[in-house]
Amino acid sequence: MCLAIPARIVELEADNAVVDAMGNRFKAKTTLLDKAKLGDLVLVHAGFAISLVDEEEAKKTWQLIAEVNDYA
């Protein structure tokens, strides 16, 4: 549950976003990240975007998550 996933905001209405991570789309709230806007890469933790993240960092984390998923 500690896992935070980088994802791109592909839809945004008020603080309700749809984000895309590694081709998976899911809902996330941007309540905790006032500056979030459409197209941003954000770190999503337990359904909430908690920070912005850059492209390179996101790619590294996606790779790690793929490995952890193998483990789990």
Partner 1 sequence: MLERIYKAQKLFDTACETLGRQINVMEVCGTHTVSIFRNGIRTTLPAGLKLLSGPGCPVCVTDQGYIDIVLQLAGRDDCLIATYGDMIRVPGKGGCLERNQPASNVRIVLSSEDALQLAKDNPDKIVVFVAVGFETTAPATAVAVKEADESNIDNFCILSGHKLVVPAMAALLAEKNNNIDAFLCPGHVSVVIGSGAFAEIVERFSRPCVVAGFEPMQIIEGLAEICRQLVDGRAELKSIYTAVVTEQGNRTAQKIIADYFEPADGYWRGLGMIEKSTLKLKDKYSRFDALERFGIIETPGEDISGCRCGEVLCGLIEPTECGLFGESCTPREPVGPCMVSSEGVCAAWFKYGPEKKHK
Q: Is 7 in the site for partner 1 (CB under 8 A)?
A: no
Q: Is 66 in the site for partner 1 (CB under 8 A)?
A: no
Q: Which residue is it, tokens 């359904």?
A: 47
In the bound state with partner 1, the residue whose beta carbon lies nearer, of 38 and 57, is 57
CB 65 within 8 A of CB 22: yes
Residue type, 53: V
Please name the residues in contact with 39: beta carbons below 8 A apart, sequence gap of 6 or more: 8, 9
Chain positions contacting partner 1, by CB under 8 A: 1-4, 26-27, 29, 31-34, 43, 45-48, 50-51, 53-54, 56-57, 60-61, 63-64, 67-68, 71-72
